[in-house]
Amino acid sequence: MIAPRPRVSRNLSVPLVAAALLSLAAAQAARAPSAASPDTAVPRVRLVATGGTISNRTGGRLTAEELVKSMPGIERYAQAEFEQFSNLASSELTLDQWLALAKRINELFSTDRGLEGVVVTSGTDTLEELAYFLNLTVRSDKPVVVVGSMRNPSTLGYEGAANLLEAFRVAASPDARGKGALVVLNDEINAAREVTKTDALRLNTFQSRTVGIVGVVDADRVVFYRAGVKRNTASSEFDVNSVTKLPRVDVIMVYQGADGDLIKAAVDAGAKGIVLATAGAGATSGTQQEGIAYALKKGVPVVTTTRTGSGRIAPPRRGPNAPPFSANPNNPLSPEEQRRRIAGEDLAPVKARVLLMLALTRTNDPAEIQRIFSEY
């Protein structure tokens, strides 16, 4: 006689099924990337906040810590650190603070080898000037990304958190190394040397006109299309660690019937250099040639740029067959004085000012200054 099979309670299978499901879930979790894990191997990126519209909330400015907390999903791309350098409108930052900021970023990169990149917040009004200054003074090939927003945190459609997240993604990207200081807004990456603010209000205000963007920040990854060839950051000769004050350089615009007395007044007030935002490819007007001659005779270099927004100013012809500069035939300029006229190449007037200030911390030789404008 065959013994009956023992009956097994169905209830006994429940723990077994549950255990199997838990094991399966654990295996899937082990295979999936964990964004929140402290052991996740994502780059360390530090925010150095200076202020600007991106933090200018009604009733008080957002701090660096609050800006970092405003970025959803940042842990997927970077270990975000932060420090509050200042919290001002960009137009309120002084040149002394520019120097201190560059020194601070250099200090971060030199003392913290594990830091992969730095993000700097700035107001958009003078963002392009600060970005170009950092492009010339940060002595590292690690990414420095400058970011801002056109709308403030209390405004409908505030894009600051999105811009900031994209800036962190670029700073964390190994492809951003060696490309100089970068500007990230509106899903686009621009080189600090070429980018300019082209509209007072629109979100797509930052453009590089002739040469275009260097890359984009898309949902899947950061994409670079090109790299600049001008000297910057790690290849720059400008070491500001020992610089305590930047020399005064003024920008004078050319317009119909302009008076050269403004140039003379700037020189008499202590300007060590003058940048002319000329009409077209170098035209002046009114009595400005007299003002230029005055500056050159006083030993003040005059850099020619264009107010048009794009185009290159070539160095003037030198030598016996070159046309003379004769604003006053009764008091002609010597060859040495004429050499103080510097071509600003394709730099915007405000960026030519930045480069001339730094050049004057190293040399007063016109030939050397012209070389610097050709290389940077």
Active site residues: 53
- Alpha carbons 156 and 40: distance in angstroms, whole number: 35
Strand partners, 81: 46
> What is the spatial order of strands in the sheet that 188-191 belongs to?
79-88, 44-51, 115-121, 144-147, 182-185, 188-191, 215-217, 222-224
H helix and E strand count, the chain:
10, 14
- 356, burial (CB in 10 Å: exposed 0-12, middle 13-18, buried 19+): buried
Bridge-based pairing of strands 249-253 and 273-278 is parallel
What beta strand segments (E) does the chain contain?
A: 44-51, 79-88, 115-121, 144-147, 182-185, 188-191, 196-197, 206-207, 215-217, 222-224, 249-253, 273-278, 302-306, 341-343
For the sheet with 302-306, list strands across it: 249-253, 273-278, 302-306, 341-343
What is d(CA 310, CA 81) in angstroms, rounded to the nearest whole number?
38
| Rounded (10°) CA dihedral 254, 260, 262, 267 | 110
**Complete DSSP assignment for 181-205:** SEEEETTEEEETTT-EE--SS-TT-
Helical packing angle, 261-268 and 288-297, nearest 10°: 30
121 neighbors 52 (Cβ within 8 angstroms): yes
One DSSP character per residue, 141-163 reads SS-EEEE--SS-TTSTT--HHHH
- DSSP conformational letter for 240: -
Q: How far apart are CA 182 and CA 195, in angstroms?
A: 9
Q: Describe the chain by its helix, strand, coil percentages, rounded to 5.
A: 35, 20, 45
